[in-house]
Structure formats: structure tokens, C-alpha cells
Amino acid sequence: MRRVFIFLLVVVCSYVSFAQDADSRLWEIAKREYPDDASMQRYVYNNQKSAYSYMGTVNDVELRQFAEREYPDDYSMQKYVYNNQLSAKKYMSSVDDMELKGFAKREYPDDYSMQKYVYNNQASAKEYMKHATNTNAKSHALREYPNDYSMQKYIYDRAAY
């Protein structure tokens, strides 16, 4: 019984110490952003605290770690990045052009938001190149960049005009 009590006491003390450290970090963020404005410090602190709590509940470990790497000292930005990445990850799981999906994943293997951007950019350029009429410029662009529709479009537009 005594060992269980000591164990629980250590766990509770560790948790309290961790919570105090987190609280101190949140105030540091607020004070760094607004060193001379107490009301803005409270505002930032409350936003950071809310985002800190939110990040403790997220399920996708890969995306949480990505957000933490991007903004190790800003929980509001972690929350923003996490949600942006989650939305883009869902989007990328629904796309149907596997060629473009593979291209986007090779360009940005860990960043779903950038994958989405590249995928959409490539899809737009691929559609554009389907309707390109200048065969010489089109052939040149295809030779220069056989796997990159965005660069094909760029080369085509430079040559065609």
C-alpha cells in the first residue's frame, strides 16, 4: 500500500510540475510577443493555452509531430498547421490522378499542404497542356520536363508567345 501511495505521489507531483512548466512557457510566449501590453499578453496566453490543450487531444501523431517541428514554441501555430495538414491529408487521400499524386508526394513527402498545392498546380497545367496547340512548343516542353506539367506549361508559354 505504501509503495502505491508513493508511486501516486510521484505521478501527481510530476504532472503538477509539467503543468507549471507548460504554463510558464505559455506566459513566456505571450510576454515575448507583447512585452509592454498586459491585456494582449492575457489574450495570447489564453489562445496559446487553448491551442496547447487542443494539441493534447489530436489523434494523428504524424501531423502533430510535423506541426511541433514547424513551430516548437507556438501552440496556436501548431494547431493551425495541424488542422491545415489534416485537411490536406484528407484531400490527398481522395485524389484520383495517381501520376500527379506520386509527383506531389516525391516533391514534399512529409507536407500534405504542399502536396495539395503541387497536385492542384500540376493538374491545372496538365489540363492546359492537353489543349496546347503549338506542336513544336509542346514537343520541346515535353522533352525538357517529361514528368512536370507545370514546367511544361512554363516552357510552352515562353516558346509559344
81-84's contacts with Cβ under 8 Å and 24+ in sequence apart are 82/55, 82/58, 84/113
Any domain includes 114: yes
Predicted structure pTM score: 0.79
Any domain includes 122: yes
Q: What is the pLDDT of residues 51-95, one digit of tens each?
A: 999 999 999 999 999 999 999 989 999 999 999 999 999 999 999
Record the cell numbers describing residue 34, joined without a space: 507583447
Any domain includes 64: no
Give the total number of structural domains in the chain: 1
Any domain includes 72: no
Q: What is the pLDDT of residues 97-129, one digit of tens each?
A: 999 999 999 999 999 999 999 999 999 999 999
Q: How confident is the model at residue 1 (pLDDT cuts 50, 70, 90)?
A: low
Any domain includes 146: yes
What range defines the domain where residue 108 resides?
95-161
Any domain includes 77: no
**Alpha carbons 53 and 50: distance in angstroms, whole number:** 5
Any domain includes 159: yes
Any domain includes 46: no
DSSP letters for 43-90: HHHHHHHHHHHHHTT---HHHHHHHHHH-TT-HHHHHHHHHHHHHHHH
